[in-house]
Chains A and B, each alone.
Chain A
Amino acid sequence: MVASGTRQIRPAPVDGFPTPTSDLQTTTENILKARFEYVKASPNDFTADGPVLHRNAHLQFLLRNLIQGFPARYRSQDASQPWLFFWTLQGFSVLGVGMDESTRKRTIETILALQHPFGGFAGGPGQFPHLLPTYASVCALAIVGHPGENGAWDQIDRKKMYNFFMSLKQSDGSFLVSHHAEVDVRGIYCLLAVATMLDILTPELLTGTPEFIASCQTYEGGFGSASFPDWALSNDGSVKDVSAPRPPLGEAHGGYTFCATASWVLLQPYIQTYYPARSLSAPCIDIHGLLRWVTHMQGSAIELGGFKGRTNKLVDGCYSWWVGGCVVLVEGLLGIEKHSGGKEGREGEDSNEHAWGDVDDSLFNREALQEYVLIAGQHAAGGLIDKPPKPADAYHTLYCLSGLSAAQHRVVPIDERKAELLSAWVDAPSDRTKDEATSRLRKRAFVDMLSWVEEEGTVVYVGGAANRLNATHPLLNLTATHVEAMMAHFYGQKTPMRGAGTSA
C-alpha cells in the first residue's frame, strides 16, 4: 500500500510574509520533495510494494560500530558510552538480530566497568554516575544480560543505585541528573524506567515527583525541560506554598515531552496507590492539550509526515520515536482518564459512563510516518539520519528505526493481558516485610508495565511485510521479550504466556 499515491503536496502557507523560520521551512520542503522524487524513481529504493527498508545496510552500519568501534568524531560521546551501546544493541533487536555469546560477554564486561562504586552507572570508566547513562546501561544489560554469575543482572548493585537516586532528590520532587548537575525531565524518566525495571520503587523516592512533572507542561500542551521551584519552597527547601507558580523553563519540546509523558505513565502505580490512601488530590496534566500538541508535531505531506520536535521547527527522524512514539502513551493516558472518570470534571462527564469511547485506532498518521523514515531517514551507505543530506549516526539510527517500529505496531495496554498477569502474580517473600501499600505499588508497577502488548490485527507495513521490524515497548524502547525477562527476574515472577488466560 502506498499512501503517497494520493498525497496532496502543498508547501506550508507563508501568507506572503516570509521570515527566517519560513525560509528554512521552504528550503527543507524542497529538499524533502526532491528526495521523494529521487527515491520514487529509483528501483532499488522503491518497488511495486513501496519504499524499501535497506535492512542489510543498516545491520552493516551497526555491526561496524559494535565490532570495529566509532570514529574520532564520536569523542563528543565519550561521556555517553552506554548510549552508544544501547543505541547499537537495541538497533539490532528492532531489526530482529540477536547477539552471539562472545559479543554478549564482551558487552557485559564493558558495561559493568561503568558501574560506579557509589551506585549507578557512569558515561565511561572513571567518570561519575549519572541518571542518563544509568538508564542506557540497564537497558543495554536487559538486552545482553541474564541472571546468575557473569550475567550482569545480579551484579547491578540495586541498593547502592537506590541510594544514588535518593542522593539526587530535590525538595520539589525533581532529581539532579548527577551531583552538581542540572535537573530535567530526561533524568527523571531514566530514573523511573530503571527503578521500575529493577523493582526499587518506593514512596519516599517518588514523593513530589508527579507534581514536578505536571509543572513542566507548557501552555502549548507539550513539556519543557524543567520548572522553576523556588517560589514554592522556603529557605530550608520544604514546600511552603503549593499554589505558588512553578513556571516551566523552556518551550514544549519533543524529547522532554516524551520523557515527561512516559514519566507520568510510570508514576501511575504510585499515584493510584498513595494519593487515595493519603486523601491527597493527585496533580493533573492537560491530556487533551498534550494530545493536540503531539499530533500537531506531525509534518504535512510535503514533509513526508515526519515529526518535528517543537512548534515551527523542522521535521527530524529522531522525533519519529520521541513524538511519534509518544502518541500511543497519550492514548493510554486517555484510557486511564476515561476509566477514572476524567480529571477536571468536563461538562457532561460521569464516572460511570465511558465518556469518550475507546480509542480504537492510532491518533497519528502511521503510514505517513513510515514513509518519512523509509524515504527521508535512510542513508545510502547504511544507518539512518535526521534528514537529507545529514550523515548517519548511532542515535538517529536507533530512533528512526524505533519510530518506524512504533508506526508499524500498535503496542497498547491490553486488559486481558493485565488480567493474566494479575492472576499469575505471586507475592514475593520480601513483601511480607513491607507494608501493604508498598506491596501494591510493586505489583501495579510490574503488571502495568507488562500489560503493554501488541494489539492483534493492527500491523501496518508500508512497503510490504519485508520491511517488518520488531515491536518495541513504548515506555522503555526494549522488546517485550527483554522487558519481560528482566522484570520477571527482579520481581521474582513467572510471566504467563500471552493468551494463557486467567486461572480460576
Chain B
Amino acid sequence: MSYIEEDEESGPPLYCERPEWADVTPIPQYEGVSSPIAPIFYTPDYKDATDYFRGIVKTGETSERVLELTEDIIRMNPAHYSAWQYRYRTLLALNAPLDAELRLMDDFAVNNLKTYQVWHHRRLLITHLTVSTPGAKPTADPLDTAQAELEFIVHVLDVDTKNYHTWSYRQWLLAHFDDSALWLGELPYVDELLQADVRNNSAWHHRYFVVFGRGSKAQATPAEEAEVLQREIRYVKGKISFAPNNISAWNYLRGILEYSKTPFSSQAVFAESYTVRRAPWDDEDVVDLDNPKPSTDADLPSVSAMDFLAEAYAREGGDSITKAVDLWKALANQHDTMRKKYWEFRIKESLETKSG
C-alpha cells in the first residue's frame, strides 16, 4: 500500500469537513511537544480521524457517531486498542445490539486475522450476549451462539490453519461454554485437519486441549480414561508411522504419556523400529497393529524417535542409562549435530544422576 493509493481524491470527506462534527474539537497528537522523535507519516484521513478520536475521548462522549468514528479508525488500523476499548464502552452505553456488532466483525476478522483486538472484541461480545443475569434470560442462547462461533472459525482457519489468535479463541470458547456437545464435535474436525497436514502443530495442540484439557472436568471413569489414552496412543502411533520425522506427533505422544504418568518405556518397542536405518522386519509378514512400522519411504533413523527412546531408557535408570547415552552420542555427533550441546548436557546430567 503506497501513500498515493491511500490518498485518493475519491475517499469520503474528512471529519474536519463535515458539519455534523463541527462541535468536536480535534486534538493533534503531540500538542505541546515541539519536535517529537521518530514520527510516523500519517495519511491525512488517518490523522483526521485520530485527531477527532482524541477530541471525543477528552469529552467522554458515547454516542452513535462514536461508533462510526471508531469503526473508521479500526478499519485503517486494527491494532488501535484504544479505539476498540472506546468502541466497546460506547456499545454498552448505548445498549446497542451486540449481535449486529458481531456480524459486522465477521468480515473484519477474516481480513485482520493477526490482530489481537479483533478476537478479543468477539470474546467480549459473545460473553455479554450469552451471560445470564438473575431474573433475565441471556440475549442469545449460549449453546447456539457457541456452535455458530465454532462454525465461523472453521472458515477462518481455512484461510490460515495455524493462526494463533483464532486457535486460542476457539479453545477459550470450548472451555467457557463447556458443553459436552461442543467438545464432541472437535475430534472429527481435528482429525480432518491432521489428514490434510499431519505436521500442523496447532492441530495437535488442539487435539491435546480437546482430549486432555478438561482433565477432571470431563468426569470420565478410570476405565473410560484408560480407553481414551489407549485410543490416543494408537492414533498418534499411526500418524507417526507414515511421517516418522514429524516432531509434532512425537511431542504429542510424549505429552499424553507424561499427562497420564505412563512410563515412556511402554512405547520403547514401538520407538525402536524408527531408530535404525535398515529395518530387519522388512522381510517379515507379521503385522503388529499395536506397533505400526515405519512406511517404506521413511527417512530413518528418525531423530525424534532416538530422542524418545533415549528418554525412555534414561527414565528406566540403572543399566539402561548406558543405552540412553549411546543414543545421545549418536544424536550429538551424527544425526542432530545442531543440538550437540544439548545432547551432551543430557549425557552429563544422567551420568551424574547415576553416580550420585
Q: Point out residues on A near B: beta carbons under 8 Å.
A: 8, 12-17, 19-22, 65-67, 69-81, 84-85, 88, 103, 106-107, 109-110, 113, 122-128, 130, 178-182, 218-220, 224-226, 228, 230-231, 243-245, 247-253, 289, 291-292, 295-296, 298-301, 305, 310-313, 346-350, 353-357, 359, 361-365, 368
Q: Which residues does chain B contribute within 8 Å of A12, judged by CB atoms?
A: 245
Q: Is A251 a contact partner of B205 (Cβ separation < 8 A)?
A: yes
Q: Is B175 a contact partner of A300 (Cβ separation < 8 A)?
A: no
Minimum CB distance partner of B1 in chain A: A73
Q: Which residues does chain A contribute within 8 Å of B258, judged by CB atoms?
A: 219, 289
Q: How far is the CB of A100 from chain B (nearest CB, A)?
A: 12
Q: Is B89 a contact partner of A298 (Cβ separation < 8 A)?
A: no
Q: Is B295 a contact partner of A72 (Cβ separation < 8 A)?
A: no
Q: Which residues does chain B contribute within 8 Å of A107, judged by CB atoms?
A: 37
Q: Is B200 a contact partner of A245 (Cβ separation < 8 A)?
A: no
Interface residues in B84-113 by Cβ distance below 8 A to A read 84-86, 88-89
Known A75-B77, A113-B33, A122-B82; contact A349-B353, beta-carbon cutoff 8 A: yes
Interface residues in B171-227 by Cβ distance below 8 A to A read 171-172, 175-176, 178, 196-202, 204-205, 208-209, 212-217
Q: Which residues does chain B contribute within 8 Å of A244, judged by CB atoms?
A: 215-217
Q: Is A247 a contact partner of B356 (Cβ separation < 8 A)?
A: no
Q: How far is the CB of A62 from chain B (nearest CB, A)?
A: 10
Q: Is B201 a contact partner of A356 (Cβ separation < 8 A)?
A: no
Q: How far is the CB of B140 from chain A (nearest CB, A)?
A: 19
Q: Within 8 Å of chain A (Cβ to Cβ): is B148?
A: no
Bound Cα distance A180, B116 (Å): 13
Known A17-B243, A182-B116, A250-B167; contact A296-B339, beta-carbon cutoff 8 A: yes
Stretch with Cβ within 8 A of A (4 or more), from B15-23, B151-159, B248-256: B248-256
Interface residues in B23-41 by Cβ distance below 8 A to A read 27, 29-41
Minimum CB distance partner of B5 in chain A: A72
Known A106-B37, A113-B36; contact A250-B338, beta-carbon cutoff 8 A: no
Known A15-B243, A73-B1; contact A249-B171, beta-carbon cutoff 8 A: yes
Q: Within 8 Å of chain A (Cβ to Cβ): is B80?
A: yes
Minimum CB distance partner of A22 in chain B: B199
Q: Which residues does chain A contribute within 8 Å of B356, judged by CB atoms?
A: 348-350, 353, 355
Q: Which residues does chain B contribute within 8 Å of A226, judged by CB atoms?
A: 168
Stretch with Cβ within 8 A of A (4 or more), from B62-70, B264-272, B340-348: B340-348
Bound Cα distance A490, B53 (Å): 36
Bound Cα distance A107, B215 (Å): 51
Bound Cα distance A248, B167 (Å): 11
| Contact residues of A: prevailing secondary structure | loop
Q: Within 8 Å of chain A (Cβ to Cβ): is B329?
A: no
Q: What are some 13 contacts across the A-B interface (CB < 8 A)?
A: A13-B302, A19-B199, A21-B199, A72-B42, A75-B42, A75-B43, A78-B77, A84-B38, A123-B81, A127-B81, A130-B81, A180-B88, A253-B164
Q: Is A219 a contact partner of B40 (Cβ separation < 8 A)?
A: no
Q: Is B42 a contact partner of A78 (Cβ separation < 8 A)?
A: yes
Q: How far is the CB of B26 from chain A (nearest CB, A)?
A: 11
Q: Is A110 a contact partner of B171 (Cβ separation < 8 A)?
A: no
| Residue from the list B37, B202, B214, B298 in contact with A245, Cβ < 8 A | B214
Known A128-B82, A182-B120; contact A70-B37, beta-carbon cutoff 8 A: no
| Residue from the list B34, B53, B200, B348 in contact with A312, Cβ < 8 A | B200
Known A312-B247, A353-B356, A363-B341; contact A17-B295, beta-carbon cutoff 8 A: yes
Bound Cα distance A78, B53 (Å): 13
Most buried by B among A70, A180, A289: A180
Q: Which residues does chain B contribute within 8 Å of A17, judged by CB atoms?
A: 198, 242-243, 295, 297
Q: How many A-B residue pairs have CB under 8 A?
A: 283
Bound Cα distance A244, B172 (Å): 16
Q: How far is the CB of B306 from chain A (nearest CB, A)?
A: 13
Known A72-B3, A219-B251; further 18 A-B contacts with Cβ < 8 A: A17-B243, A74-B41, A78-B46, A110-B30, A128-B81, A180-B84, A182-B120, A182-B123, A245-B213, A245-B214, A251-B205, A252-B205, A292-B342, A305-B338, A310-B202, A312-B248, A348-B353, A364-B342
Q: Is B37 a contact partner of A66 (Cβ separation < 8 A)?
A: yes
Q: Which residues does chain B contribute within 8 Å of A299, judged by CB atoms?
A: 338
Bound Cα distance A252, B58 (Å): 41
Q: Is B77 a contact partner of A296 (Cβ separation < 8 A)?
A: no
Q: Which residues does chain A contribute within 8 Å of B36, judged by CB atoms?
A: 106, 109-110, 113
Bound Cα distance A161, B86 (Å): 21
Bound Cα distance A67, B79 (Å): 24
Q: Which residues does chain B contribute within 8 Å of A19, judged by CB atoms?
A: 196-200, 243
Interface residues in B317-348 by Cβ distance below 8 A to A read 317, 337-342, 345, 348
Q: How far is the CB of A414 from chain B (nearest CB, A)?
A: 20
Q: Is A72 a contact partner of B41 (Cβ separation < 8 A)?
A: yes
Bound Cα distance A75, B3 (Å): 11
Q: Within 8 Å of chain A (Cβ to Cβ): is B141?
A: no
Q: Point out residues on B near A: beta carbons under 8 Å.
A: 1-3, 6, 27, 29-43, 46, 50, 53-54, 57-58, 76-82, 84-86, 88-89, 116-117, 120, 123-124, 161-162, 164-165, 167-168, 171-172, 175-176, 178, 196-202, 204-205, 208-209, 212-217, 242-248, 251-252, 254-256, 258-259, 294-299, 302, 317, 337-342, 345, 348-349, 352-354, 356
Most buried by B among A106, A125, A178, A243: A125
Known A225-B164, A311-B247; contact A16-B297, beta-carbon cutoff 8 A: yes
Q: How far is the CB of A475 from chain B (nearest CB, A)?
A: 22
Q: Is A13 a contact partner of B38 (Cβ separation < 8 A)?
A: no
Bound Cα distance A146, B134 (Å): 55
Q: Is B76 a contact partner of A75 (Cβ separation < 8 A)?
A: yes
Q: Which residues does chain A contribute within 8 Å of B57, judged by CB atoms?
A: 126
Bound Cα distance A128, B80 (Å): 10
Q: Which residues does chain A contribute within 8 Å of B245, judged by CB atoms?
A: 12-15
Q: Which residues does chain B contribute within 8 Å of A65, judged by CB atoms?
A: 38
Bound Cα distance A343, B178 (Å): 33
Minimum CB distance partner of B343 in chain A: A295
Q: Which residues does chain B contribute within 8 Å of A15, judged by CB atoms?
A: 242-246, 294-295, 297-299
| Residue from the list B43, B247, B354 in contact with A296, Cβ < 8 A | B247
Q: Is B38 a contact partner of A219 (Cβ separation < 8 A)?
A: no
Q: Is B217 a contact partner of A231 (Cβ separation < 8 A)?
A: yes
| Residue from the list A73, A125, A368 in contact with B54, Cβ < 8 A | A125
Minimum CB distance partner of A62 in chain B: B38
Most buried by B among A67, A84, A103, A109: A109
Q: Is A219 a contact partner of B254 (Cβ separation < 8 A)?
A: yes
Bound Cα distance A288, B39 (Å): 45
Q: Is A359 a contact partner of B162 (Cβ separation < 8 A)?
A: no
Q: How far is the CB of B116 from chain A (nearest CB, A)?
A: 6
| Residue from the list B1, B2, B200, B242 in contact with A21, Cβ < 8 A | B200
Q: Which residues does chain A contribute within 8 Å of B243, judged by CB atoms?
A: 15, 17, 19
Bound Cα distance A19, B82 (Å): 41
Minimum CB distance partner of B35 in chain A: A106
| Residue from the list B58, B168, B175 in contact with A250, Cβ < 8 A | B168
Q: Is A251 a contact partner of B341 (Cβ separation < 8 A)?
A: no
Q: Is A247 a contact partner of B214 (Cβ separation < 8 A)?
A: yes
Known A128-B85, A178-B81; contact A109-B337, beta-carbon cutoff 8 A: no
5 smallest A-B Cβ distances: which pairs? A16-B297, A219-B255, A13-B299, A245-B215, A251-B205
Known A79-B77, A298-B338; contact A230-B176, beta-carbon cutoff 8 A: yes
Q: Which residues does chain A contribute within 8 Å of B31, judged by CB atoms?
A: 125
| Residue from the list A88, A301, A313, A346 in contact with B353, Cβ < 8 A | A346
Q: Is A181 a contact partner of B120 (Cβ separation < 8 A)?
A: yes
